[in-house]
Chain A
Amino acid sequence: MTPDPELARKLLHGMVRIRRFEEKSAELYSAGKIRGFLHLYIGEEAVAAGVMQALRPEDAVFATYREHGHALARGLSAGAIMAEMYGKVEGCSRGRGGSMHLFDAAAKFYGGNAIVGGGLPLTVGYALAQKMQQRTGLAACFFGEGAVAEGEFHESMNLASLWNVPALFLCENNLYAMGTALERSEADTDLVEKAASYRVQGKSVDGMDVLAVLEAAQQAAQFVRDGNGPYFLEFRTYRFRAHSMFDPELYRSKEEVERWKQRCPIAGFSARAIREGWLTPEMIAAIEAEVAREIAQAVEFAEAGTWESVEMLTRDVYTARGQTE
């Protein structure tokens, strides 16, 4: 795939935005501004940035607890996400969710699920409802390769295939589920094969190459939109940082991490874009500057945000009667 300069800019901007946002988040975590679990996506940006370019506003997105990148790429404002991680009421989940539970109804962004595999059945049901109501728009679900060991993965693949629903399964295989390498958890590590056993078509993609991601996601989305049923994509990727902020990384070597960092999706794409003449160094510098401004504003927004009054503690457990029809 050869992108025009505008697409190249968009893709790079998308990835840089995630990277810098998360670097800032890690810093704010150390400063005690953000608490709870914080799972960084650094290294995996090409997946969210590439896939979201292939999705449309009428599509729904379900993600995991490692979802800052997905939320940003889906169009949630950096300020609303940052405020959420600060626990402020201006956050995209009013401070009730935190880093792991980002939601935005308007963007059809359905979280933010911190139960491994928990979003898969929801996606199948959402897609089923799309089909029953003859609506266009698919349901896309991101999950890690660790989820493949959960029963919910197998039940959901089967159900999606059996009912031929418009679901797009997006497996981010970063090789480790916390500290457990895929080959230490799966008797058969071929994930596409697992999907195929439920007659879900699929493909494995280089998740460090944003163009490969975009191309595969476009094809897969088209397959689903054409009414062919669900599709499964495996993105081979790697997280450069620890699983969360409490992980001494005993399970992998520094050399391995370094090797993967050589394949950094942002550095790789930037170099290629310059080489191919899609972007100039000045354009890349402008992206960095734009992102830096946005993130500074996001932090300001979060800092200026308010703590919800404790009197409101039990709101939104039930829907107020009459709030919906």
Chain B
Amino acid sequence: MSDATKAVVTTTYRAALNMALREALQRDPRVFLMGEDVGRYGGTYAVSKGLLEEFGEERVRDTPLSESAFVGAGIGAALNGMLPIVEVMTCNFSLLALDQILNNAATLRHMSGGQFSIPLVIRMATGAGRQLAAQHSHSFEGWYAHIPGIRVVTPATLEDARGMLWTALMDPDPVIMFENALLYNLEGELAADAGAVDIDRAAVRRAGSDLTLVTYGGCLYKTLQAAERLAAQNISAEVIDLRTLRPLDMATVLVSLAKTHRMVIVDEGWKSGSLAAEIMARVMEQAFYELDAPIERVCSAEVPIPYARHLEQAAIPQVDTIFAAALRTVNQHV
């Protein structure tokens, strides 16, 4: 079948995740999903809707509000032959399970001298933009990416929402998947036969030659819009979607930088100690002489995300701020 005639379906990010979950549950009896309200409620963000009816309550398992215990139970089950998918409602609540994630999931393999693998996937929603204020709006994927022993993936497209889960499940080590909550309603076309995708490589989402915009997750679309506006001013921006925050695919980033020599990093985490800071640092270490201008970062302001809409929007990366940073960068000459 040629590309032109390849069958596509119109779907959403949420439905793509749902398809991925359904497929995983169908494909392997070791797979089960557990978390708060994944069953009867249908998932806080309706991602697991219909799965309880199809797979029963053994495999689509509602849990009490016990983040530490059910994430830890996922680790224990993964140690013992299962392939659990644990849903934590949002990353804000994952802090109650941080002990299990860091002290057990990330360490058991190393601490035991390589005797155990933990094929666990933890899914959680992340991100701001819905006026949910400071306890429901933070982005912790950069924090989690700090931890050796786990993988961090951030699907931003329908293909990745559909395809990352299976690959993550087949990975022998714990993988945390961050789903930006604003993406759940994202609509678009997806190949009818879409399936597993790699979780190792960053992707160039828009090719360009004047500067490199590096981003991931929910900020991808704002970054693409900024690139569009730059194009209207004859500035050609390349947009890289990191896809996986740990391990980072710096090779793709550096190939782009070698072409553009300018870079802006867009990251919804707080600026200090952010993933954006890590990428900057690596560019300094690995490609300092490629730079024709200082790298800029567009991150969240150093403030707990506020409730009022105008304040919330001012706190997080926006098309305007990305666009402005890009302009400053291309207009710098050293």
A and B co-occur in one complex: yes
Cβ 8 A contact of B112, one of A111, A159, A315: A111
Say if the beta carbon of A14 comes within 8 Å of chain B.
no
* C-alpha spacing A113/B107, complex, angstroms: 10
- Find out whether the CB atom of B111 lies under 8 angstroms from the CB atom of A96: yes
- For A, the interface residue count at a CB cutoff of 8 angstroms equals 48
Cβ 8 A contact of A91, one of B68, B70, B81, B113: B113
Stretch at the interface among A21-29, A39-47, A127-135, A262-270: A127-135
What A residues does B112 contact at CB under 8 A? 93, 96-97, 101, 103, 105, 111-112
14 A-B residue pairs with CB within 8 Å: A94-B114, A97-B113, A112-B112, A115-B99, A118-B104, A121-B100, A123-B76, A125-B75, A132-B82, A133-B81, A159-B64, A159-B73, A314-B148, A323-B172
B54-69: CB near A (< 8 Å → 1, else 0) gives 0000100001101011
- Find out whether the CB atom of A101 lies under 8 angstroms from the CB atom of B111: yes
* C-alpha spacing A128/B71, complex, angstroms: 13
- Find out whether the CB atom of B73 lies under 8 angstroms from the CB atom of A324: no
Using CB atoms, name the residue of chain A closest to B151.
Answer: A318
What B residues does A103 contact at CB under 8 A? 111-113, 115-116
Say if the beta carbon of B39 comes within 8 Å of chain A.
no
**Which residues of A are interface residues toward B (Cβ below 8 A)?**
60, 91-97, 101, 103-105, 110-113, 115, 118, 120-130, 132-133, 139, 151-152, 155-156, 158-159, 162, 314-319, 321, 323-324
- Find out whether the CB atom of A113 lies under 8 angstroms from the CB atom of B82: no
- Find out whether the CB atom of B173 lies under 8 angstroms from the CB atom of A318: yes
- Find out whether the CB atom of A151 lies under 8 angstroms from the CB atom of B104: no
A103, A110, A155, A162, most chain B CB atoms within 10 A: A155
Using CB atoms, name the residue of chain B closest to A159.
Answer: B69
The answer to whether residues A151 and B64 also contact, given A97-B111, A115-B99, A126-B77 and a CB cut-off of 8 A, is no
What A residues does B63 contact at CB under 8 A? 159
- For B, the interface residue count at a CB cutoff of 8 angstroms equals 41
- Find out whether the CB atom of A159 lies under 8 angstroms from the CB atom of B172: no
- Find out whether the CB atom of B68 lies under 8 angstroms from the CB atom of A151: yes
B66, B110, B113, most chain A CB atoms within 10 A: B113
**Which residues of B are interface residues toward A (Cβ below 8 A)?**
32, 58, 63-64, 66, 68-82, 84, 99-100, 103-104, 108-117, 119, 148-149, 151, 172-173
- Find out whether the CB atom of B172 lies under 8 angstroms from the CB atom of A118: no
The answer to whether residues A155 and B68 also contact, given A96-B112, A111-B108 and a CB cut-off of 8 A, is yes
How many A-B residue pairs have C-beta atoms within 8 angstroms? Tell me. 149
- Find out whether the CB atom of B99 lies under 8 angstroms from the CB atom of A118: yes
Cβ 8 A contact of B68, one of A97, A123, A128, A152: A152
* C-alpha spacing A97/B113, complex, angstroms: 8
* C-alpha spacing A127/B68, complex, angstroms: 16
- Find out whether the CB atom of A121 lies under 8 angstroms from the CB atom of B75: yes
What A residues does B81 contact at CB under 8 A? 129, 133
* C-alpha spacing A84/B74, complex, angstroms: 28
- Known A93-B112, A96-B112; further 13 A-B contacts with Cβ < 8 A: A94-B114, A104-B115, A111-B111, A121-B71, A121-B100, A123-B76, A125-B75, A129-B77, A133-B80, A155-B69, A155-B70, A158-B69, A316-B114
What B residues does A125 contact at CB under 8 A? 72-80, 84
* C-alpha spacing A151/B68, complex, angstroms: 8
B83 to chain A, nearest CB (A): 10
What A residues does B58 contact at CB under 8 A? 132
- Find out whether the CB atom of A126 lies under 8 angstroms from the CB atom of B80: yes
- Find out whether the CB atom of B115 lies under 8 angstroms from the CB atom of A96: no
- Find out whether the CB atom of B113 lies under 8 angstroms from the CB atom of A130: no
